[in-house]
Amino acid sequence: MIRKVPGARGAWPGADRSTDPYLPEHGNGGYHVAHYDLDLDYRVVSNRLAGRATVTAVAVQPLSRFTLDLGHFRIQDIRVDGRPAKYTHRPDKLHIRPERPIFAGDTFRVDIRYAGKPVPISGRWGDVGWDELTDGALVASQPNGSPSWFPCNDRPGDKAAFRVALTTASPYAVMVTGDLVSQRRGAGSTTWVYERLEPTPPYLMSVQIGRYELVEIAAGGVTQRAAIPRALRAAFAHDFGRHGEIMEALQRLFGPYPFSEYVVVVADDELDDPVEAQGMAVFGRNHVDGRRTHERLVVHELAHQWFGNSLTVADWRHIWLNEGFATYAEWLWSGVCGDLPTDACAAQWHARLAARPRDVIVANPGADRMFDPLVYKRGALTLHALRKRVGDEAFFTLLRAWVADHRHATVTTEQFRAHAQRFARESLDGLFAEWLDRPALPPLPR
């Protein structure tokens, strides 16, 4: 019996398009990736990357063609289920037509060999993705930089498992988001193999390459390690000296740390902002000064392991669920460690926001404003208002339940509203409408 694919000459919704309204050119709604297997060879001096990628996916609709996101590399070969496939490679997008159509529910495998000089993806948020350091490389992919180094379905809601093997010159340490499973030294080069078994969106996969020393951050409990330049060892020991306490505090507040370990990388270059990845955070040398000036950022990035990494937004409209929660974690730690009480942090930021234009809707800020400080601070104030409405006991119970119920899954603002309502004695519709759906700043609850 021959199965026919209706409309095989045409396209189905999602076959070539994203489901993320903020990044319509990235991602593909026609399939779900289950696993990425990447074998990479990187030459630091020449900034040359050669890769073999195997993408295993499940079709959610019939596919006569589909796309993957990939930057400006030379494609050497593409096969679908072992058969050569036709393709075109337009800017940052691979359009692939397999020899045989793929049916809804089918698991299929795409093998891609590619090479070239990796460069960041340029856009409205600047240059993101694979970037050369003075002596090494750094990957910071939020929100759309993953195609700068591997072919992927680049949308936050498509979480998959990863295996990454990276070979580079032996003097360099290689840190990849995942658990190190092997390290093979050859003639002048070393291959580092990492596995990330927890479902992970492409933007949270990261590679860090540099002449780093590996040090322990805190003893006992969750494994906490760091890769740092030797010259920053003393300053780092002071600035991250309370990291074990921060980890314990956040676990009390949010529930168990969601990964097997936490890795901090301090690049030997200056960075505008730290960057979170799955089980990892990346700081610039300018964030380590020996005076704990940037400890709030240390807390913020660690909090993202719960909010953003384990719980990942289904699409970028819901980014306040990442940034508002991580910002509120800063205020909570401030109260725990004896600095400014959380109520005072909220009052301080409410006063600052009251002096600014009120022109962002937190629940849907738009692509141009998704990283606006208003989203971060208004998001945190939303949580503070919720806490005041339901009380401390119910608030922290609902936070821990939110984390547990959606562990390693995707989340939306609508899900959080419904979840919070379960822990309230009165309707929260008005509270969320005021704080999330309208640009006007509500009064700070007492």
pLDDT tens across 104-127, in order?
999 999 999 999 999 999 989 999
Q: How far apart are CA 295 and CA 412, in angstroms?
A: 29
212, 301, 328, 330: the catalytic one is 301
Tell me, yes or no, if 328 is annotated catalytic. Answer: no
Tally of CA atoms within 13 A in the half-sphere of 336 that contains its CB: 18
pLDDT tens across 301-351, in order?
999 999 999 999 999 999 999 999 999 999 999 999 999 999 999 999 999
Tell me, yes or no, if 330 is annotated catalytic. Answer: no
Which ranges in the chain are annotated with CATH 3.30.2010.30?
213-303
Which ranges in the chain are annotated with CATH 2.60.40.1730?
31-208
* Of 75, 165, 153, 148, the residue nearest 108 (C-alpha): 153
Which positions make up the binding site for Zn(2+)?
Answer: 300, 304, 323
pLDDT of residue 13: 42
Q: How far apart are CA 27 and CA 68, in angstroms?
A: 7
Class of domain 31-208: mainly beta
Cα–Cα distances (Å) from 367 to 21, 145, 273, 362, 370, in that order, read 8, 15, 19, 12, 5
pLDDT tens across 124-180, in order?
999 999 999 999 999 999 999 999 999 999 999 999 999 999 999 999 999 999 999
Third-level CATH fold of 313-437:
Neutral Protease; domain 2 (1.10.390)
31, 114, 262, 376: the catalytic one is 376
Q: How far apart are CA 285 and CA 270, in angstroms?
A: 5
pLDDT of residue 15: 55
Q: Which CATH architecture has domain 213-303?
A: 2-Layer Sandwich (3.30)
Average pLDDT, 10 consecutive residues per value, the chain (446 residues) = 35 57 92 98 98 98 97 97 96 94 97 97 92 96 97 97 98 97 95 98 98 95 97 98 98 98 97 95 98 98 98 97 98 97 98 95 97 97 98 98 98 98 98 98 92
